[in-house]
Amino acid sequence: MPYGEVAKLRQHPEGEQLQQFIRQFGQANRHLAGKRKDFKAAWFVSHCQTRGGREKILPALQSFMQVDTYGDCFDKLTCNKGGLRHDLNPQHSCKKMAEQSYKFYLSFENTICNDYVTEKFFHFLFTNIIPVTFGGAEYSAIAPPHSYINALDFASVEDLVAYMREIHEDDAKFAEYFWWKEYYEPRDTRFSPRPLCELCQRLRNPLEPRKWYSDLPAWWWNVNGCRKLIDVHGEEGRFEVVPANRLSHSLKHPLCFKPEGHDNTNI
């Protein structure tokens, strides 16, 4: 079941006109930065050891910036007893606290697989916090342009943090990341019957091509491009993603992945 979606409400400019609109929006909405003066990021996390290995990025990030972790792992900071995991309400006290204190949220998935996006991403689209993504999905297919920062667009952790700092220090550039809220709407779809209805329609459609998987776990973990973070190498924490059919040891300076097996063993 999808954890959420971003629905387009109306058409917006495209191409260079969109870029100009985004810049103008940022200049006119500097106030969205509020009083958040400290350069830091928040991460709500309670799954400490993951199949994707996201936890290995944290020390590299903390070499360059402050990262506050809430939940059962690492710093174990708390915002309230209710937690955040299943609440997409923008008025949730954890989100309100985060929005008052942080400009960035680490939306790092616990499993790095194609098309796998959870509430870790959709949570903070309801707020004026920029999500920093780390996952296997094509985020440009599910979210508006210039609405998130994809860690894997950068060569290294150091480059990522340098860009985040640039955004942090310029209120107009920060505000640009929220231009889309006039044109799109994030939605919680976890309890919507629509995905199951669409599945039912496809199953009953005689024109839909038939597929058969004799080993569904093997397909999910191997054919579906799931990967595992091995380590963060070098002083800069260099990024490089290994496709599922390549050997991880061929990389010299990787924040590298290896293909995920289906042996149920966490990193």
* Greatest extent of the chain over all pairs of C-alpha atoms, in Å: 58
**Residue ranges of the chain that CATH labels 3.40.50.11660:** 5-187
Prediction pTM value: 0.80
- Amino acid letter at 239? F
Tokens of 160: 């990522």
DSSP string for residues in 226-247: -EEEEEE-TTTTB-----TTS-
What's the rounded Cα separation, in Å, for the pair 113 and 241?
Answer: 12
Give percent of the chain above pLDDT 70.
Answer: 77
Residue 38 per-residue DSSP state: S
Q: Per-residue pLDDT tens for 75-132? A: 888 876 545 544 545 446 788 888 999 999 999 998 888 888 888 898 889 899 999 9
pLDDT at 267: 28
Helix (H) or strand (E) holding 105: strand 104-108
Confidence category of residue 247, pLDDT binned at 50, 70, 90: very low
State the average pLDDT for the chain: 80
What's the rounded Cα separation, in Å, for the pair 46 and 76?
Answer: 9
- Amino acid letter at 259? P
pLDDT at 265: 32
CA angle 217, 51, 190 (to 5 degrees): 70
What's the rounded Cα separation, in Å, for the pair 218 and 215?
Answer: 5
Residue 260: burial class (beta carbons within 10 Å; 0-12, 13-18, 19+): buried
The owner of tokens 């609405």 is 147
Q: Per-residue pLDDT tens for 219-241? A: 766 666 777 776 665 555 554 44
CATH class entry, domain 5-187: alpha beta
CB within 8 Å of 244: residues ≥ 6 apart:
222, 223, 225, 226, 227, 259
Tokens of 76: 């174990």
Residue 20 per-residue DSSP state: H
